[in-house]
Amino acid sequence: MSMTALFLAIVASVVTLLLIAKFWPRSGKMGINLKAVQCPSCGAPQPAVRVPRSLREVLWGGWTCSKCRCQMDKYGAPIEP
Ligand SMILES: [Zn+2]
């Protein structure tokens, strides 16, 4: 592969990643939430590094509050257990 082809391949990859990041949903099950989340029940901030406590948390994100055991999704909306 020539240097030009390599360069073009890198540029194409970066552009593709930027487009994915730009249009990736910020809501819904496949969305990514980059904001800090607080417990909807007691207001305790949830850790950025998450230890999943259930299969649902592994798959879809979300937290179980360590203070009040309230469950929330990755946007901080309460979930009924
Ligand atoms: Zn809580």
Q: What is the pLDDT of residues 24-46, one digit of tens each?
A: 888 887 888 888 899 999 999 99
Global model pTM greater than 0.85: no
Neighbouring residues of the ion ligand 1, judged by CB less than 5 Å: 39, 41-42, 44, 65, 67-68, 70
- Identify whether residues 25 and 52 lie together within a single domain: no
Does one domain contain both 57 and 24? no
- For residue 79, what are the CA distances in angstroms to 10, 26, 36, 70, 76? 42, 18, 17, 8, 9
Residues 43 and 13 in one domain: no
Looking at the structure, do residues 26 and 57 belong to the same domain, yes or no? Answer: no
Domain extent, residue 19, equals 1-30
Rounded mean pLDDT, 55-71: 88
Same domain, 43 and 25: no
Q: How far is the CA of 25 from the centre of ligand 1 (A)?
A: 26
- Cα 37 to ligand 1 centre (Å): 11
Total domain count for the chain? 2
Pairwise CA distance, residues 1 & 7, whole Å: 10
